[in-house]
Every structure is written in C-alpha cells, then in structure tokens.
Amino acid sequence: MYPSRFQYESPKTVAEAVALLDQGAGEAKLLAGGQSLVPMLKLRFASPAMLVDINGIEELRYHRFDSDGTLRIGALCRHEDLEKSDIIRQKQPTISAAAPLVADPIVRTRGTFVGSVCHADPQGDWAATMIALNGRIVAQGPKGRREIAMKDFVLGPFQTALEHNEIAIEAVIPAPQGVAVGGYIKLERRVGDFATASVAVALDVVGDKVVRAGIALGGVGSRTIDASDAAAALVGQPLTDATIAKAAELAAAAAEPRSDHRGSADYKRHIVATFVSRLLNQIHSSKEAA
Amino acid sequence: MSSLYEEVSTAPASDVPVRRVTININGENRTVDVEPRLLLAHLLRQGLKMTGTHTGCDTTNCGACTVLFDGRPIKSCTMLAVQADGHAVQTVEGLATASELHPIQEGFKAEHGLQCGFCTPGMMLAAKALLEENLNPTEDEVRWALSGNLCRCTGYQNIVKAVLWAAEKMRAQAGQE
Amino acid sequence: MALDEVKIGGMGASRLRVEDNRFIRGKGNYVDDIVLPGMLHMEILRSPVAHARIKSIDVSKAWEVPGVRLVLTGEMMAARNLAWMPTLSYDTQAVLATDKVRFQGQEVAAVIADDPYIARDACSKIVVEYEQLPVIVNPTQSMAPGAPLIRDDKEGQQTNKVFDWEIGDKEATDRAFEQADVVSKLELHYPRSHPSPMETEGSIADYDRATGKLTVFMTTQAPHIIRAAVALVAELPEHMIRVVSPDLGGGFGNKVPVYPGYVISILASILTERPVKWISDKSSNLISTHFARDVYLKGEMALRKDGKILGFRMHTTSDHGAFFSDAQPSKFKIGLLHSAFACYDIPNAHMVAEGFYTNKAPGGVAYRCSFRVTEGMFFQERMVQAAADDLGMDQAEFRRVNFVKDDDFPHRTPFGFLTDSGQYGKCLDVGLEAIDYKNFLKEKEEAAKRGKLLGIGISTMTEPLGAGNSREYDILGIKMFDSAELRVHMSGKAILRTGAKTQGQGHETTWAQIVAHELGIPADDIVVEEGDTDTAPFGMGTYASRSTPVAGAAVAMVSRKIRAKARKIAAHLLEVSEEDIEWELGRFYVRSNQERGVSIQECAMAAYSNVPDGMEPGLENTSYYDPPNLTWPFACYIATVEVDPETGVWDVLKFVAVDDCGVRINPMIVEGQIMGGLTEAYAAAAMQFITFDEAGNCIGSNYMDYLLPTAWETPGFELYEVVTPCPHHPIGAKGIGECATVGGPAAFVNAVLDALKGTGVRNIDMPLLPDRVYEAIKTGKDISGAPPVKVD
C-alpha cells in the first residue's frame, strides 16, 4: 500500500519526456493514467527509480478522425473519453463496444487507451480492439518517430517493442475500406474483472461483402491473439451462417488458453467460438435491419 | 507541512526530494510539500486530516477512496499527491455547505443507503459525478455508475434508491431556479 | 394522554439513523482516523511461503533505515513470553513466528517507524532464510499417513487432527434408515471464504508508563473479550487496560478474534513508550485474518414414500488452518452446525465432526453466521432439494410435509435444541405467492423456446441466534450474557451504554427506540454509546446476531428497572400509593383520575431534586441479561434464475425473501440487514471464494481475485414479513442480521440446479461461476471442490 521511493518528473513536452526516459536508462517508467502502474507501485511489484508523468502534456489528450477516416488516439485519451464519444460510436463501433467494459467506471475516468495497450496485459481489452482494427502505435524516441504495427507491438505478457527511451504518443487506427462494423464481448465474472475470454471483431463492409476483417482474442493466451485465419475466412464473403460458423471455428482454434481458476482451456475456447459467432450474428442482423 | 505522512514525523532525510504543490481542495487552495511517492488518499487523510476519504483495498477495486478530481471521480489511492498539483479535488467534506446537506447526503440517510459508513463517502462522490452528467438516471444507470465502488453492508438496493431520491430532489431544485 | 410511539421514535418506527449524521459528512471515527500525539506506525512482514522452518532472520538492514524506531521478531517476542498467544478455542497461535511458518501470510517480523512508508521500506530489507517443508492444503492431505506434522510445537500432538466430535443417537438413526423406503445422499464442500469488511483490522496501542495504563483503540466487535485476552497475554490487570472500539467499517465476524498485529502493536508501544498504529492492508487482511467455512459435508436422509423424513446422518470434515482459533462457544467444536434441519420434524439424527490443521490461515470465524450454522443450513437445504427430487415430490410440498407445525412448539430437535415459535407454513405460502410459483413451469417452457434454462430454488430454515444462555454458551469460560446501563438525566434525557458493539447495524438508533418504547422518552433524547471498556458495562459484543436477542433484551430490562423506580417517584409526586398508579407511554397517572399524572421527565427531575424519604437519589441502573434460550427466526428465500447453457452464465430473475424475526424494532434497519445478507449470500453462490494452490499460495488474496459483487451484478430483492414474537424475549424480538447470509446461498444454488434438472447434475459446489455451470451442463456430471475445475 506504500510505494517505494522514486524520482518524480513532470515534463511539459514529449521531447523533455523522452530525454528523461533516456536519462533513466531503463530504470524510469512512464506514468499516464496510472491505473495499472500505481497499484503495482503500491504492492511494490514495480519499484522504478524514476517516474516520468506525462499528464502535464495536455496536447496528448485527444481522439480525432483525419479527413480520410483515420482515427488517432493521443496518449492521454482516457477510457471514458472514448466511451462517451459520439463520433466513435458512429464510426468505430468496436471501440465503442469495448470502452464501457474496461475496468470500472471510476478507473475509466483516469486510465488511458494507449497506456493500457502499452501495459500489454494478455487479459487487457484494448489490445484486442487494436489488433482487430489493424492499429499502429506511434512511438517517439531520441531519434524521432516510428510506427509499430499492433501485431508487432506486444512481444509477450507485459512486454512491448518500445525501447526504454520511447514513448507511445499515439494509437492510429486506419480508415475503414467501407463501412466499419464490429463489436466486443468480454466474459467477466464481475465488473472490473479481467477477461476470462474476450473477443473483438472489426469488419469493413462494402455492400454485403466483407472487404477487411480483424478478429482478436483476449485472455486466451500469453498475449492478445490475432485470429487472422478466422478473419481471412470472412474476407470477400458475405456474412452467412456458414461463414460465421467457419470464422468461429477458426478463432477457437487460434486461441491458446490455459486452464486456471477462471475456467478450463476447453471452456475458454468454447467461449471464443460462442462470442465470435454471437458478434458476427449481431452484426449480420443489425445490417439486415438497416 | 513537509513530506511527512503526518506532522509528528521527523523531518525527512535530506536526500529525500520533496515537491511543493498547491491543490484546490473543496474550494480552498492548500500548499504542501510532499514526497513524490505519497498517495493522494494519504495526503488527504493524514497530511490534511480530512479522514472522510477512506482506503479500503490495495488494488484499485473498492472505490472507498473516490474523490472528484477536476470534477471527475477518481480513486485517490491510485494517484500520487504530486499529480494533483494545480488541480481541484473535492472530498466528502466538501459536499455539505455550512447550512445544508447535499441532496445526495440527505438521500443516503433518507433511504438507509449506508450501514457501516465506510464506503459511503466514495459512493456519494461517484453518485455526484453521475448526477452532474445525468439528472434523471434509470436504476440501471445508477447501478452501472456505482459499479466501481464496493459495499459490503447494504446490498446496494438502498444506495440506488438514495441516488434516485437525490436526483429527484435535484431536479426539483433545478426546476425552481 | 399517552404519547404516539411512532412519533417519539419508539418500536416499529422506521426511524432514520442517528449515526448517519456523521457518516454522510465524512465524520465517522474509524481506527485509522485516530491520530495520537507522537504516534508511530507499524508494518508487518509476512511469510511468502506456506510451510517452512525459519533458519535465520536478519533485521540489521531494517534498523539502518532512517526513521525506524523498532524492529521486532519472534525471538524478541519470546523473550517476553509473547511469541504465542491463546486462541478463543483453547489452542495457541503464533504472534511472530519463531520456529516455523505455518501458512502463507503468517506474521514473521514487524517494523515500527515514523511513518508507514518508512516501515514498509524497512520490512523489505529484512532477510529471512526459510527451509521449505511439505505443504498441506486440505484435510485429505492432513489425514494421509505420513503427513508432515503442522503443529509440532504442541506437546502430545501426534497428528494433524484438531478434534473429533459426535452428537445424536447413532443406533436409533441406524434403525430409521433400516425402515426407509428411499435413502437420499449428498456430499458437498462449502468453500472457504472471507468476511472481508471494507475496513481492514488495525489497532493503536498507547501505553502510558506514568500511570501504567494501556489504551488500545482497535477494530473489534467484542471489546470486553479482547480486554480479557489482552489481560491474559500481556499480564496486565483489567483496570489497567482500556479497549476502545470506535466506528467499525463492518465486521461480519472478522473482527471478533485476537490478531497478532494487536499484540505486537501493544508490545511495541510498551517498548517505544509511544502510541503505535497498525493498520492492515487488504491483502494481509485476506490472507491472514480469519476466514470462514471450508467444510466438507456428507450426509444421507432416510425417507418414507409419502415424503416423511425419518432421520438423517451427517459427517463434517472442517479445515481450520494452522491454528484452531474459531470464535465460538467452548463446548461445541463445530459451532452450532448441528442446528441443521431444526425447522423440520425429524425424529432421529446422528452427526460426526472432524477438524483438521492445514497450512492455511487460521479460523474459521462465524462469518455473518451464528457459529457455522451457515454450512449446516446450506447442507440442509441442498439435501432437502435432493431428497424431494429423489422422491419425485414437489420441493415446496416436501418442505411443508416435514415442517414443525405451528402448534408443535416448543419443539426439541434430535440434537437437543429447543425451538420455540414460528409459522413456517405461512412463510412458505407468502413466498410461493410472491414468486408466482404456480405459473413458473409455464415461464420455464417459454424460456426453453429461447434456448434458456429457468430454475426455481427454495431455501427455508430456522436458525439459532443470540447466544447464549449461560448454561450452555461461553467463550473461554466467560458466559455469554450481555448488558445495558441507562442513566436518565434530570432533564429526562438519557445516555445508554451496552456491552454490544455496532458495526453498521445501527445500535445508536435502535437501542434508543427500545428505551423510547419502555419509558416514553423520545428516542432523539437518548444517546447510545458502545465500545469503550472503561465506560460500557461488561458484555460479550456483537456477532452471531446476538445484539438484539441479548443486549437488546438488557436494554428493555434496564428501562423497566428505571420505570419501576420512576413509578415510586411518581407516587410520591402525586401523593398516592404506588398501587394506585397506572402507566401509559411516557407518563404515570392516578388510576381514579387519568388527568392527574406526571411525565417520565418530571419523575427524572424529581429523582435528583425531590425523592421520597429513604430512596436513593438518581435515575440510573444496569441490567445483565442472560437469555433463557436462543431465538429462532425463520426465513423463506426463493430465487428464480435463467441459465445460458452456451456460456454457463446465470442471472437472477427474481428473488423474494420472507423473514420472520419476531417483532421488528426498526423495520427499515431490519430490511437493510436482510438485503445486505442476501448480497453476501449471492456473493457466496456466484463468485466469492478463496482457494490455494498445491504450494499453499492463496488465490483470493486481493479484490481482483476475491470477488465481491458490485451494484451491477447484485440482484434486486423483494422483501416480505411474517411476525411470530419470540415467547421469551422481553420485546418479542429475534435475531435477524445473519438469516439472509445463512439461508440465502441455498436458494440461488437450488435454483441453478433446478434449471439443470434432467442433465443428471446433482451438485455443483459453490461458487457457481460460469465455467463450472457450463462444465456441469456439458458433461452431465457434478462439479466438486473449489475452483479451478482443471489446471494445466
């Protein structure tokens, strides 16, 4: 309940923040929403020598669509900003569906989208949406900026491709190649619980055809799983009972769950199939209704 | 005060860095020197002797320490006191005015929305944040908004009623103005 | 004119709570809110392993941390004969480990420093060398041949068995089984859980060397018991110990026992001569303080074809962790678990109980429960459903056939309890009507068309609340009575103190209502104080739903003593003989002329200014109440649930609760108690559990793993009442605080299993997490034991 000592820095620009991380030489941690980091400090699971608090860099709190439909989410965009955003609800239903299921309402006022992705918890919610939407992370380091595709970003549990002196300043979600449809379902035992299993589905649809698909699975592997075969099975196809069943089957096959006190591996795999099927059916029937 | 957890503590060792911060607490600016690792909840409780904010868990689950930070509810055990520099914090002590209770406080009493009282300050502040956005919530909206705050005594039913009671009173007050 | 009782906040009034005035302002006064001048802070270093020999402890680096004032180890405690302390069940418990650690989270060392951050820093610098020993995490392992001996500290302890205990008539029960048409069997585990009040445990010890007096502010539900224990441990006389229990952030049984931290903080204060505060964090609270349940129950029931229960047998195997420190009446080793089946008229029964040590936190405490009745009642109601199913009989009808009938009281159970009142059939009828039992099958068919499984679960029970009477109930030899002291001031306003200790139950409000009922003094004119052993009369505290049955009765009795004296004063003031005086609420009057009277307030003034010759002045008195029997409330809980067979997720559609707790002092507060209890019942049924891996690591050591339901999951409850006054309680009240936690779980579980009828599944042990329900549906097999169902 009582963090150990650290040096605290609150830079006003990204460049300053990068310089501080560089100085920290791997012993510095970046503090954004802090909803995972501060509990770890309190339990002394993390004892960094330096904390670089970027909350003072106000210009990082944004989410906006470029004119071409690309969505950009700044490093200080809080979960609740996305949850309450009308434009997200209209244009990126997968994110809109996941936002209210992240942690609990109080945590959502403070925790950030990008921070959550960087935390790289295999049971986290946002990584699944990022993979399903083929997102990228913009990292800024001493040598400038680079973009890292989400599928390359998470290396393992709580490990990312970020260098110790790099800051993930933005998440980028490419513009849909048609109409973006999708959703997110999470099996949690209680509000605020980590996912027993979760599924994010994001489809770009033209007419009745799926032109791009992303399906990602949370809680069923040592990192968020890109069910690319399942997604690929939908591309170029309309949603039908048969294509939906095939995608569900392939998604379940892609899962790598372990049996634990949240459920057996078989159960989690079954939940993945059930949720993929439910989401796709939901998308299908709402399209029918429209 | 110094970086101290409490004023009775010895002065900090010279190599312990402290930061001077100014936080607007319940409308009043308070300037204190804090060690960076001090949690906001502890500053409020020990440093500033405002013990209405409680700490119930270590893992950011229980919400007993909920305060309003620039108007939005946060868990004050999950924020460093230094991070509140230049910001506004509202605690349970700031709910009532000198002459009257906030309708949420009245509602909690009127509907028996508390028993041991430990979660109550956090619950009331979470409720305040909800009602500031939505003065006419449904029962489900109240339950959802309070789902980051745990209560072990009441079973929540009366807490929900208390918030709806307050909403009704606040609507009536808003109508009068 | 007699007063309007409701207007003065008397019995039956849903009087708003007095204590709320401070809580809603954030002005409660919990232990952690108290700051004493010069106060130091203590943090405890706990064992990371479940069973190991301590080879060495090096505290030198901890001493070097600036701001550290004291570092304590078991060795230093032992030098003062404080390394071990007695438990409330005649066992011993380590305060700081000396020889071995026996569970994960056991206290190993303590640091006292200027602030808790520094104390925690220093704890992390203590180096302990452990030699790992084989770990035992369940009774099966405890009793296995060659199992390592956990309590090698105890002379003569050869095995890991804590106790054997037996009750009932074995032969008569065997005969009943010979006559049975059908024998129904059930075996289940009531999983380990934790009461988990929102506030953890803690203390501030303040030893004053000048006076020799020790003051301890602490989170205790039973301040006087703690004072007795501290006197024993610290070898201080009682008048030199003051235990103060300020506002408690919930208790639920977790704050009855003596915890090592209390004792360590006391020694630390004696040694530093400064006040020492210790506040446990939540993880420590969950891994080291008293858990509850963790009992394996097995039983069978002898049944006649027409539904009559001829007898039952039960066997319990309980896991007590490393130290047997249940807080319970001395003579009952497995608490009052043998009160199971008390609402049914069953002639023969036999029960065997065995308790074992394991490498787990000690307990089990009576978690919102009258000493393990929860496990008994849960088994009872699961068994009753299984028996009804085996007979092919309607579950409601089966209960009705076997209920003790309204005119059969007093009724002696086969294990010797005496139930004294109730209208069981009526309660069941009210519940069935409220849930629309008749139409449930229709709803079930409708739901099946949507692919959902509907189930209905009933739980009916009476339980013994309000220990004791002192013939049978004591803790450490101290008889379980309780007390009240009432001082009426000359203004007619009063202060009342009791030996109970509120933790959210609202004593400050309800005790005043009893006084108002007895004396006609408006409740708002009465202040209630509890929890300070220097001022409160001796009492056994609040747990086991004993406040209203025992201390509440003492409040009524002391009020009557006051009224008796006031009557004499009234006669004096009215210049008539006492026999000519009548009482109506708040006032004495002359029988022949009702207009001529004096108010209780006038009598109070006269008690200090104008007493009759020969009478002692003043209007104060104390009552110690020793109840003639326990009280026996009855409850009927019915749940309907919808199960999604694809995921195992289930939702409560409706829940009705019919409670008969006799006369209700404050209906609002009673209903609050019921709803809170039902939520804990739902938690137990749906999600709340603590388990251990093979190495003895606790799964459930924080609120991420130990799941308490939020407002979102918690179902709504519909409450109904039936009133059968308790025949022996002065105001006809019975206990209520725990009925819902005790009786509730079976309603949820029975409902889910009812939904699964036809799958062949007979039992799923709690918690009914989605994966367990799904697994049962898929395999058609029972799910036994705590999660996980499978491990990789």
The pLDDT tens digits of the residues spanning C100-126 come to 999 999 999 999 999 999 999 999 999
CATH number among 3.20.20.70, 3.40.50.300, 3.60.15.10, 3.30.465.10, domain A61-173? 3.30.465.10
Q: Does C702 touch chain B (CB under 8 A)?
A: yes
* pLDDT, position C579: 96
Out of C16, C505, C677, the one facing B110 most closely (by C-beta) is: C16
* C709: chain A residues, CB-CB within 8 Å: 190
Confidence tier at A289 by pLDDT (50, 70, 90): low
Mean pLDDT computed over every residue of chain C:
96
Instruction: Report the DSSP beta bridge partners of residue A65.
Output: A71
Cα separation, A21 vs A24, in Å, equals 5
Q: Would strands C309-319 and C295-303 be described as parallel, antiparallel, or unpaired?
A: antiparallel
**Which residue among the candidates C463, C508, C680, C738 is catalytic per the annotation?**
C738
Instruction: Report the DSSP beta bridge partners of residue A184.
Output: A200
Cα separation, C103 vs B65, in Å, equals 31
Q: Do A39 and B59 touch (CB under 8 A)?
A: yes
Cα separation, C705 vs A234, in Å, equals 37
Cα separation, C207 vs C216, in Å, equals 8
Average of per-residue pLDDT across C2-12: 94
**Omega cis (within 30) before C261:** no
Rounded to a whole number of angstroms, the distance between the first and last alpha carbons of chain C is 77
* pLDDT, position C765: 98
* A51: chain B residues, CB-CB within 8 Å: 36, 80
Rg (CA), chain A: 19
DSSP classification of residue A143:
T
DSSP classification of residue C743:
H
> Can you give the three-state secondary structure of chain B, one letter per residue?
CCCCCCCCCCCCCCCCCCEEEEEEECCEEEEEEECCCCEHHHHHHHHCCCCCCCCCCCCCCCCCCEEEECCEEEEHHHCEHHHHCCCEEECHHHCCCCCCCCHHHHHHHHCCCCCCCCCHHHHHHHHHHHHHHCCCCCHHHHHHHCCCCCCCCCCCHHHHHHHHHHHHHHHHHHHHC
Is-catalytic flag, C563? no
Q: Domain extents for chain A?
A: 7-52, 61-173, 179-289
Domain final residue, candidates B69, B94, B119:
B94
Predicted confidence (pLDDT) at residue B12 exceeds the cutoff of 60: no
- Roughly what angle, to the nearest 10 degrees, separates helices C739-755 and C373-391? 30
Out of B60, B146, B147, the one facing A35 most closely (by C-beta) is: B60
Placement of tokens 């309450």 in the chain: A84
Chain C, nearest residue to A192 by Cα: C704
Instruction: Report the DSSP beta bridge partners of residue C277.
Output: C41, C204
- Joined together, the tokens standing for residue C503 give 């933790």
CA dihedral C649, C709, A128, A109 (to 10 degrees): 150
Q: Would strands C482-488 and A28-31 be described as parallel, antiparallel, or unpaired?
A: unpaired
* C671: chain B residues, CB-CB within 8 Å: 112
Q: Does C272 touch chain B (CB under 8 A)?
A: no
Could you report the per-residue pLDDT of C452-488, keeping only the tens digit for each?
999 999 999 999 999 888 888 988 888 999 999 999 9
% of chain C exceeding 70 in pLDDT: 100
* pLDDT, position B14: 57
Q: For C74, what's the count of Cα atoms within 13 Å in the CB-facing half-sphere? A: 23
Could you report the per-residue pLDDT of B78-118, keeping only the tens digit for each?
999 999 999 999 999 999 998 999 999 999 999 999 999 99
Q: Do C711 and B108 touch (CB under 8 A)?
A: no
Residue numbers of C between 63 and 92 with CB closer than 8 Å to B: 66-67
Predicted confidence (pLDDT) at residue C789 exceeds the cutoff of 90: no
Cα separation, B126 vs A289, in Å, equals 37
Q: Do C647 and A274 touch (CB under 8 A)?
A: yes
Predicted confidence (pLDDT) at residue C730 exceeds the cutoff of 60: yes
**Closest to C736 (Cα-Cα) out of C546, C474, C476:** C546
Domain shared by B77 and B129, yes or no: no
- If DSSP codes are grouped into helix, strand and coil, which group holds residue C324? strand
Q: Do A193 and C120 touch (CB under 8 A)?
A: no
Domain A7-52's class? Answer: alpha beta
Is-catalytic flag, C158? no
Cα separation, A166 vs A18, in Å, equals 6
Chain B, nearest residue to C678 by Cα: B155
Average of per-residue pLDDT across C15-27: 98
Predicted confidence (pLDDT) at residue C522 exceeds the cutoff of 80: yes
Q: Does C182 touch chain A (CB under 8 A)?
A: no
Predicted confidence (pLDDT) at residue B7 exceeds the cutoff of 70: no
ipTM: 0.97
Confidence tier at C304 by pLDDT (50, 70, 90): very high
Predicted confidence (pLDDT) at residue A287 exceeds the cutoff of 80: no
Average of per-residue pLDDT across C321-334: 91
The CA-CA-CA angle for residues C464, C470, C476, to 5°, reads 100
φ and ψ at C303, to 5 degrees? -125, 145
Chain C, nearest residue to B150 by Cα: C710
| Domain around B39 | 19-94
**Which residue among the candidates C15, C192, C242, C368 is catalytic per the annotation?**
C368
User: What is the number of domains present in chain B?
Assistant: 2
Domain shared by B132 and B152, yes or no: yes
Could you report the per-residue pLDDT of A267-286, keeping only the tens digit for each?
999 999 999 999 999 999 98
Instruction: Give DSSP secondary structure letters for C386-435.
Output: HHHHHHT--HHHHHHHHBPPGGG-SEE-TTS-EE----HHHHHHHHHHHH
Domain final residue, candidates B77, B94, B111:
B94
Is-catalytic flag, C192? no
Q: Report yes or no: C396 and C458 within 8 Å, Cβ to Cβ.
A: yes
Cα separation, A255 vs A226, in Å, equals 9
Could you report the per-residue pLDDT of B30-46, keeping only the tens digit for each?
999 999 999 999 999 99
* A34: chain B residues, CB-CB within 8 Å: 78-80, 83
Average of per-residue pLDDT across C4-15: 96
Domain final residue, candidates B94, B128, B144:
B94
- Joined together, the tokens standing for residue A165 give 């002196």
Predicted confidence (pLDDT) at residue B11 exceeds the cutoff of 50: no
Q: Do C771 and A193 touch (CB under 8 A)?
A: no
Instruction: Report the DSSP beta bridge partners of residue A154.
Output: A160
Predicted confidence (pLDDT) at residue B2 exceeds the cutoff of 50: no
Q: Which helix (H) or strand (E) holds C119?
A: helix C116-123
Confidence tier at C669 by pLDDT (50, 70, 90): very high
Instruction: Report the DSSP beta bridge partners of residue C276.
Output: C40, C205
* pLDDT, position C636: 98
Is-catalytic flag, C221? yes
| From B9-18, C77-86, C227-236, C543-552, the region with the lowest mean pLDDT | B9-18
Rounded to a whole number of angstroms, the distance between the first and last alpha carbons of chain A is 52
Is B14 within a domain? Answer: no
Domains, chain C, with CATH or none: 20-27+482-625 (3.30.365.10), 36-133+200-248+255-288 (3.90.1170.50), 295-467+629-779 (3.30.365.10)
Predicted confidence (pLDDT) at residue A36 exceeds the cutoff of 70: yes
CATH number among 3.30.300.30, 3.30.390.50, 3.40.50.720, 1.10.3720.10, domain A179-289? 3.30.390.50
Q: Report yes or no: C465 and C545 within 8 Å, Cβ to Cβ.
A: yes
Is B119 within a domain? Answer: yes
Residue numbers of C between 36 and 65 with CB closer than 8 Å to B: 37-39, 41
Q: Do B13 and C716 touch (CB under 8 A)?
A: no
Instruction: Report the DSSP beta bridge partners of residue A185.
Output: A199
Interface test with B, best of C15, C17, C19, C23 (most B CBs within 10 A): C23
- Joined together, the tokens standing for residue C706 give 């130990």
Q: Which tops the pLDDT comparison, C640 or C230?
A: C640
Give Cα C355 to chain centroid, integer Å: 20
Q: What one-letter code names the amino acid at C188? A: L
In which order are the strands placed within the sheet that holds C650-660? Answer: C453-462, C634-643, C650-660, C718-721
Helices (H) and strands (E) in chain A, counts: 12, 14
Q: How many CB atoms lie within 10 A of CB C6?
A: 13
Out of C114, C252, C506, the one facing B10 most closely (by C-beta) is: C114
Q: Do C790 and A193 touch (CB under 8 A)?
A: no
> Can you give the three-state secondary structure of C543-592, one letter per residue?
CCCCHHHHHHHHHHHHHHHHHHHHHHHHHHHHCCCHHHEEEECCEEEECC
Out of C66, C116, C680, the one facing B13 most closely (by C-beta) is: C66
Instruction: Report the DSSP beta bridge partners of residue C590.
Output: C581, C593
Q: What one-letter code names the amino acid at B113? A: G
Across A57-166, where does the E strand assignment appear?
63-65, 71-74, 136-141, 144-149, 154-156, 159-160
Is B35 within a domain? Answer: yes
Domain shared by B73 and B126, yes or no: no
Q: Does A189 touch chain B (CB under 8 A)?
A: no
* pLDDT, position B9: 42
Q: What one-letter code names the amino acid at A29? A: K
* A197: chain C residues, CB-CB within 8 Å: none
Q: Report yes or no: B36 and B78 within 8 Å, Cβ to Cβ.
A: no
Cα separation, C577 vs C327, in Å, equals 51
Domain shared by B89 and B30, yes or no: yes
Q: Report yes or no: C697 and C50 within 8 Å, Cβ to Cβ.
A: yes
φ and ψ at B137, to 5 degrees? -75, 155
Q: Does C704 touch chain A (CB under 8 A)?
A: yes
Is B130 within a domain? Answer: yes
